[in-house]
Amino acid sequence: MFHAIRRAALALLLLPAPALAQAVPGAVPAVGSVQGTVADSSTSSPVAGAQVRVTALNRSEVSHADGTFHMHRLPVGEHTLTVSRLGYAVYTARVQVRAGQVTPLAVRLATSALELGGLVVTGTVSGRARDEVLSATSTLSGARLDRETRSTVASTLQGIPGVAATSIGPATARPVIRGLSSDRVLVLEDGQRPGDLSSTSGDHAVAIEGATARQIDVVRGPMSLLYGSSALGGVVNVIREEVPTSLPQHPHGGVTAGAASVDRSGTLGAYTTAALGPIAVRAEATGRMSGDIDTPGGRLENTRARTMGVAGGASWVRDRGHFGAAYRFYGNEYGIPGGFTGAHLNGVDIRMRRHALRGESELRPGAGVLSSVRSTALFTDYFHEEIGSAGGVATRFDQQTLSGDLLARHERVGIFGEGAVGLRAQYRNVTTGGAVRTPSTHDWNLAGFLVEEVDAGRFRFQFGGRYDLSRFIPREEATIVVGGERVPVRERTFGALSTSLGALYDVGRGLRVGASLARSFRTPDFNELYSSGPHLAAGTYDVGDPNLEQETGLGVEAFVRLGRPGLRLEGAAYRNQIDGFIFPSTRGRVEFGTSGGVARAQYTNEDARFTGFEVDGEWQAVGDLVLEGNVSSVRAEFTSARAPIPLFQGLDTVFVAASSYPPLIPPVMGRAGARWERGPWTLAGGVRMAAAQDRVGDFEEPTDGYAVADASVALQLRQGGRFHAFTLRVDNLANTEYRNHLSRTKEIMPEPGRSVSLLYRITY
């Protein structure tokens, strides 16, 4: 099976290559160019550093110091071109490219104090302005990304409505969206899964470095059929374009350096992209070191971390597409603190590394129904070991993943505005070792999907379907005690259809309303099916159930957007009913050595319902002063009756009532702040707030509410076509003692105390 899927993935990668090669020599290319200038609409002065992008072709360029840009070798036809720059509203134009000709374009950008963000490329058939996306969406880029960048992707997203973070120590933070976690929230890198094990346990870190990210998209809700059937919570996509898709007219890149006081950390990252004849190349290197976290209650021991990464990519770029590959290494060594319930007294150290090899090709035929055919093959080798205080390896995971994707897009065809059809194949081999008794497993997944849009003036309608077939095959014989009976592990096969419907209506005067409906499907993962034994770093005794049923979710969402000069507002309400919701029910205690009771995490199915809302907005109150804020709430509860929980006390067994609520649900959260911009300076401040959470799961404890103040000052300078950005930020300004309900370490220490950090970024 492994060899068959490997051949299929390579075939998907190479499929467009012959046609791409035929488009090279001899014939007169049906291409042209767009050459223009970008200027300020009020002063007519040139604007450097503006991102000029041809949306459907995934081609981009940056305006020079004199405001000029040149998009060369564009296919003949009409294209949508967008120009975005911090401090200006996004500019969109339709340009006609003619064979052998240069199309002139004069771009005049209107100033805007609101941070409208770049194009959203996640959860859409092609790049879209944020107002045009058929789901609640947030984008971090430019100065906002500078202000929010922290040590992990999840902590960087902490100010986005509907997004929280769960962790066992700072290095392990993982996003929780609308109360949903694990692989119900897909964390992607350039649209691909990283091949790590972060979704399987709270002590496993996400193997993605955010320091060199160009943009981070967060798409909440059900519009995720392009990536998987399980992501009812949403998608987080870290975008950096490690396989270049176009030839840059001149080298461009960036360097990032940062430091923070709360953990005595330092970060350094750099990347560059350049053209070597017809070959575009990209290189990147990052490094980060941090010590133990300081909190108002003392130092949280064994939370140090050290990460490093290197990457390189190259692409052969022609008139009608590209063909390229990239390699990425990511290594992370971090500590898990001890002292919380079930944890090792002195904590656990984790070493992980990830090698990833990615191949990518795209063909744009230029005639016929299809606008592009894109294929991607990704191989990842992931290794992870957990080391106890005595130095021995307690748990080890070794995972190889091979996946292949084929995506064909079309633009307007009849009543359909644009659409996509795709195939995906994945093979995964997981080898376990150490004290964990989960059998080594291999699994495969095959999927096909279709997404179409109908564009009828002010009304846009989207529908899609996806069928997934998955099979899990344990490589060892074993039995698991479930409900007092020994259940043998066995092969499992799952398959189901996922569907989505969405609509967006432009009412006028900047007001848009929309709604979506989706049926999701999620298979249990190998650890939920086959785990059996202690998980030292997580402080649990994990027990799977080979007879688990698949999850089936039905999600509905309605949203409204208002965008007017000086005002941006978005609100959404949703309801997700998940039948067979899989979670680690702490059905009792297991006496484990001399360390006392360790929570028995027994994976089980229950029906559950998640309802909530989000509101996010900003208002240019007066002059350069912008007021901003958001609030989000999720209410989760089981809708099926739960059996009492057996609690083992010595030789006796007592039964306690099971909770009516799923575990690790965030409280009502929000943020209120202000931002003042004048010339190169930006001053910002705000308060992050959370209500008390007393709707707790089995063996959880309630947490109190809190309000934490943050402030920042930023300076942006332009010199010789280069942009220098300095951001000084103070988190937890008053050194407030507070606890995050989703953190396992809240039992022993509060969240980090006051932290002063400095970030410097240069882009050219």
Give the pLDDT confidence score for residue 232 in this predicted structure.
Answer: 83
Residues 372 and 352 in one domain: yes
Inside any domain, residue 557: yes
Question: Residue 21's pLDDT band (boundaries 50, 70, 90)?
Answer: very low
Q: Which helix (H) or strand (E) holds 615?
A: strand 597-622
- Of the residues 81, 109, 137, the one at which a domain ends: 109
Residues 136 and 75 in one domain: no
Per cent of the chain over pLDDT 90 is 61
Residues 584 and 666 in one domain: yes
Average pLDDT over residues 671-686: 94
Give the pLDDT confidence score for residue 122 in this predicted structure.
Answer: 80
d(CA 318, CA 78): 19
Average pLDDT over residues 542-562: 95
Hey, which of 101-110, 126-135, 533-542 has the most confident mean pLDDT?
101-110
Query: Encoding tokens for residue 204?
Result: 């496993």
pLDDT tops 70 at residue 29? no
Question: Residue 646's pLDDT band (boundaries 50, 70, 90)?
Answer: low
Q: Which helix (H) or strand (E) holds 350?
A: strand 348-363
pLDDT tops 90 at residue 250? no
Give the pLDDT confidence score for residue 260 in this predicted structure.
Answer: 97
List all residues 6 or more positions away from 28 whose beta carbon is below 8 Å from its beta carbon. Answer: 99, 100
Query: Domain limits at 409?
Result: 2-16+118-763
- Indicate the range of 51-55, 560-564, 686-690 predicted with least confidence: 51-55
d(CA 557, CA 573): 6
Question: Residue 651's pLDDT band (boundaries 50, 70, 90)?
Answer: low
Q: Strand 68-75 to strand 31-40: parallel, antiparallel, or no bridges (unpaired)?
A: antiparallel
The owner of tokens 């958001």 is 630
Residues 274 and 318 in one domain: yes
d(CA 132, CA 136): 10
Average pLDDT over residues 345-349: 87
**φ and ψ at residue 656, rounded to 5 degrees:** -120, 155
Question: Of 236, 234, 246, 177, which Cα lies nearest the Cα of 208?
Answer: 236
Residues 82 and 187 in one domain: no
pLDDT tops 90 at residue 686? yes
Inside any domain, residue 199: yes
Average pLDDT over residues 41-69: 83
Inside any domain, residue 24: no
Question: Of 733, 737, 725, 714, which Cα lies nearest the Cα of 761?
Answer: 725
More confident residue, 225 or 488: 488
Write the CATH number for 530.
2.40.170.20
Give the pLDDT confidence score for residue 19 in this predicted structure.
Answer: 47
Average pLDDT over residues 622-640: 95
Is residue 514 within 8 Å of 172, Cβ to Cβ?
no
Inside any domain, residue 634: yes
- Of the residues 71, 86, 109, the one at which a domain ends: 109
How much is the CA Rg of the chain, to the nearest whole Å?
Answer: 26
Residues 421 and 337 in one domain: yes
Residues 674 and 759 in one domain: yes
pLDDT tops 90 at residue 100? no
Inside any domain, residue 22: no
Torsion of the alpha carbons at 293, 294, 299 and 305, rounded to the nearest 10: 10
Is residue 142 within 8 Å of 227, Cβ to Cβ?
no
- Indicate the range of 3-17, 21-35, 686-700 predicted with least confidence: 3-17
Inside any domain, residue 310: yes
Give the pLDDT confidence score for residue 366 in this predicted structure.
Answer: 73
Inside any domain, residue 23: no
Residues 688 and 570 in one domain: yes
Count of structural domains within the chain: 2
Question: Residue 574's pLDDT band (boundaries 50, 70, 90)?
Answer: very high
Residues 516 and 601 in one domain: yes
More confident residue, 364 or 617: 617
pLDDT tens digits, one per residue of 714-741: 998 888 778 899 999 999 999 999 999 9
pLDDT tops 70 at residue 597? no
Residues 360 and 387 in one domain: yes
- Of the residues 109, 142, 174, the one at which a domain ends: 109
pLDDT tops 90 at residue 391? no
pLDDT tops 90 at residue 72? no
Residues 219 and 141 in one domain: yes
Per-chain mean pLDDT for the chain? 88
List all residues 6 or more positions away from 482 whose beta carbon is below 8 Å from its beta carbon. Answer: 543, 545, 546, 547, 602
Inside any domain, residue 163: yes
Q: Name the amino acid, one letter, at 141.
A: S
pLDDT tops 70 at residue 24? no
Average pLDDT over residues 74-80: 84
pLDDT tens digits, one per residue of 138-191: 888 888 888 899 999 999 998 899 999 999 999 999 999 999 999 999 999 999
Is residue 688 within 8 Å of 672, Cβ to Cβ?
no
Hey, which of 29-38, 323-332, 561-570, 718-727 has the most confident mean pLDDT?
323-332
Question: Of 658, 744, 674, 673, which Cα lies nearest the Cα of 708?
Answer: 673
| DSSP annotation string for 411-435 | --BTTEEEEEEEEEEEEEEEEEEET
**φ and ψ at residue 555, rounded to 5 degrees:** -120, 135
Write the CATH number for 51.
2.60.40.1120
Average pLDDT over residues 670-692: 95
Give the pLDDT confidence score for residue 516 in this predicted structure.
Answer: 93
Give the pLDDT confidence score for residue 650 in this predicted structure.
Answer: 58
Question: Residue 31's pLDDT band (boundaries 50, 70, 90)?
Answer: confident
Question: Of 234, 129, 237, which Cα lies nearest the Cα of 181?
Answer: 234
More confident residue, 629 or 366: 629
Residues 355 and 486 in one domain: yes
Question: Residue 25's pLDDT band (boundaries 50, 70, 90)?
Answer: very low
